[in-house]
Amino acid sequence: MHARSRLTGLLGGSFNPAHGGHRRISLFAAEALGLDAVWWLVSPGNPLKPKAGMAPLAARLRSANQ
């Protein structure tokens, strides 16, 4: 008998800052897809968004960990 593998979803984004919407879509995806976890991938930069107003990576990582 084999144990079921853990299913992990990935959510990438700027998380500038991380907010309830990110949490809600993570919880929705976990429920809809039967995921055991959703990992947030905080991107250091986004070529599609202006750098002005982008919080430092360390601050965005902190907000994603709260």
User: Domain map of the chain by residue range?
Assistant: 8-65
Query: Does residue 34 or residue 51 have the better pLDDT?
Result: 34
Residues in the chain: 66
CB-based contact 16:54 (threshold 8 Å): yes
Q: What is the rounded distance in angstroms from the CA atom of residue 26 to the CA atom of residue 18?
A: 12
The alpha carbon of residue 19 and the mean position of all alpha carbons in its chain are separated, in whole angstroms, by 10
pTM of the model: 0.85
The pLDDT value recorded for residue 11 is 98
Mean per-residue pLDDT over the chain, rounded:
94
Residue 47 pLDDT > 80: yes
In the three-class reduction of DSSP (H, G, I as helix; E, B as strand; rest coil), residue 8 is classed as strand
Query: In angstroms, rounded to a whole number, what is the distance separating the alpha carbons of residues 34 and 47?
Result: 32
